[in-house]
A and B are shown apart, each in its own frame.
Chain A
């Protein structure tokens, strides 16, 4: 009689544990994100805020930003143990760490995987970041643990292209080839957490990678839950159903969560530059006087009031302030002078006002900023017609050149070249074969951007970048509104395991040291 019990009990216990694991295990970090669904987990395609944090958990680069930092000076060895370059910075050789294995039995990381990954990042068919890799001439596997990168000309920071960020994430060649399009939902990397399961519009579950080369993670896994409503996420956090939650990005929310026992707000860099890109090739915005009117009607200080000073800071240029090469000396329009804007429009032949089409995400943070702009522009007789769509559709539509005004919030690898190239070089214009995210069709600073890229004298390089920013601002390709830090809330028992100052993946990176106390 008892014997039956002995056999049955473990079985029952095992069943109970296996079904209950995702919900009840102490060691699973429940992380809530403001999105309806996953876009992609392919790190070479992940461009939206909700998709990016995943890359930081699943993948490694050859080098990495020190966890919690966004400083290029903090770059440290990741999959590469060491590296060296020739004197003019055109040949780089990386020595890989031995014995690092990919998830799900895809074998050891070899130089072939690195060559494959970087070539994949450079290919516009497989990567959203291909334009970053334009300067690469060839990537070779010298031996199974040595990779050599040859450049056409030196670039400002090669390490940025091989860091654990965007195209620098290293994927398994075998897995990417085998899985094809399914790699977006079944990615294979080397990071501390491996993708276990994806339930559309609900969650992605991750389990700890027991063979992680820095040591087995303290957490058992991560449950990444898609909860688009800010209030629903807050309720879930307060009820203990979430451990970490993407915040509503404003002062009210920070104050409210800050007053709650057991909860902590994490405010981190990078400051994302919030910018309105104006399509300079589409009527009536093709007329610079009309763009000037739009810029004049926008009231930039109001955004800082709206978001609150804990999170928002003034924007001084068309690239983020922390970038190497940033220059804030060119004055920007945007004091909210509706009368002056009306007069500019009238002088340009639009006395009755204009109407502009804007495809806008339903993500509450961004939608409310767009509504502030809508009201500001309305005062000047500019009718900003919002077409509100879900976040993935928004990202798709603006890349198909369907929005005359694009509100884009972004931070990039903190060197001027990256931001300038992606947003303002003519090769990046949306709708072209080499398209990146040049929504404004801006092409006035191509020469400076390209020359700065291979300029070896830092002073001359800085001048070229300054001149590029000046031209873009004066041509009014974009109106920088403000810069915004990122706010997350966590329960007090979450220990990140590092000093969280910044997260290049726009969310706190979860490392092998992160734990729930």
Chain B
């Protein structure tokens, strides 16, 4: 009976989650397509300067106008999406890979190493994300690779903690004991039984962290710690636009809107996935 009740509730609660997932996925599909196809779609070379075409208004030739170097703003936003999304995906994937594997191992084996790792992880988590990002980029130096590493480090604790707590709970389950009794190797238990169980949760966390990674990248680029010029990144475009904010506000507003769209898309997807997967959310 209680089973039926739960199912009934789930059915009633599913549509909002599903709408969010579909809307988010649609937004992200368009954005990602625009980013990937930028070399084909962009009307101009995003790096080509023209002293004769500085600060052009919106027109058929320059859809969103040009910046102080005469570069096409629309093309730069498309290429900016490319770098920003790539940075976000790569850093989240890196954090997911490292955080999940170390977290599962740490939780499964326990002991002194687990305590040390958890303490270190808590320490890392206690830093506000931007502060940690700033420190790491300052140490490593600017550049896209270093930016990816920095964002990955700031995202690492979330995955570590999630994977570790899942492993801690699962290792006490009877079927895991049964696996041990059957003489399965630890690697087999972890990869065949623990990992699949945690994967759903990890993917949801990853989606939400993608949005955070986009925000971190944009924030770091905005304060000048992003990819060095002439690279177009969304945060960098906003920063460049700020120099002419009073006279040509579009230069800062258009890339800001692009960031907003990406954030909305990723958050819709992440929240939708979480709601759909979390029975407590519908209780």
Q: Which residues of A contact B (CB under 8 A)?
A: 229-231, 234-235, 248, 250, 252, 256, 302, 305-306, 362, 364, 367-368, 370-372, 374-376, 378, 385-388
Contacts and interface: CB of A to CB of B under 8 A. Distances in A.
Contact of B243 (A248, A256, A374, A378): A248
Contacts of B243: 229-231, 248, 364, 368
Contacts of B229: 367, 370-371, 374, 386, 388
Contact of A387 (B69, B141, B246): B141
Interface in B141-178: 141-142
B35 to A, nearest CB: 22
Interface string B245-266: 1110000000000000000000
Contact of B228 (A229, A230, A306, A385): A385
A104 to B, nearest CB: 37
B230 A234 contact: no
Contacts of B68: 250, 252, 368
A371 B239 CA distance: 15
A229 B242 CA distance: 8
B47 A378 contact: yes
Interface string B24-55: 00000000000000000000000111011011
Interface of A is mostly: helix
B245 A252 contact: no
Contact of A235 (B54, B230, B244, B246): B246
Contact of B247 (A256, A368, A376): A256
Given A234-B246, A256-B246, A362 B47 contact: no
B223 to A, nearest CB: 10
B49 A387 contact: no
Given A229-B243, A248-B243, A388-B228, 4 more contacts: A229-B242, A305-B51, A371-B49, A386-B228
Contacts, number: 59
A138 B54 CA distance: 56
B247 to A, nearest CB: 5
A167 to B, nearest CB: 33
A306 B51 contact: yes
B173 to A, nearest CB: 53
Contacts of B51: 302, 305-306, 372
Interface of B is mostly: loop
B196 interface: no
Contacts of A367: 229
A234 B52 CA distance: 25
Contact of A375 (B52, B69, B228): B69
27 contacts: A229-B243, A231-B242, A231-B244, A231-B246, A235-B246, A248-B243, A250-B68, A252-B54, A252-B55, A252-B247, A256-B247, A302-B51, A305-B52, A306-B54, A306-B69, A367-B229, A368-B243, A370-B229, A372-B51, A374-B230, A375-B48, A375-B49, A376-B49, A385-B228, A386-B228, A386-B229, A388-B142
A362 B240 CA distance: 11
Contact of A231 (B49, B55, B142, B245): B245
B16 interface: no
A374 B48 CA distance: 11
B224 A362 contact: yes
Contacts of B244: 231, 252
A248 B246 CA distance: 12
Shortest 5 CB-CB contacts between residues of A and residues of B = A305-B51, A231-B245, A375-B49, A302-B51, A386-B228
Nearest to A374: B230
Contacts of A378: 47, 230
Nearest to A231: B245
Contacts of A231: 242-246
A473 B102 CA distance: 60
Determine which residue in A250, A367, A375 has the highest number of CB atoms from chain B within 10 A of its CB, and name it.
A375
Nearest to A256: B247
Contact of A372 (B69, B224, B228, B246): B69
A229 B243 CA distance: 7
Contacts of B245: 231
B283 to A, nearest CB: 49
A378 B49 CA distance: 11
Contacts of A229: 242-243
Contacts of A385: 228
Nearest to A364: B243
Determine which residue in B47, B48, B49, B141 has the highest number of CB atoms from chain A within 10 A of its CB, and name it.
B49
Contact of A371 (B52, B69, B142): B69
A368 B49 CA distance: 12
Nearest to A229: B242
A391 B103 CA distance: 42
A370 B229 CA distance: 9
Given A231-B246, A372-B49, A375-B49, A387 B228 contact: yes
Contacts of B246: 231, 234-235, 256
Nearest to B68: A368
A244 B52 CA distance: 31
B242 A375 contact: no
Nearest to B224: A362
A463 to B, nearest CB: 38
Nearest to B55: A252
Contacts of B49: 371-372, 375-376
Contacts of B242: 229, 231
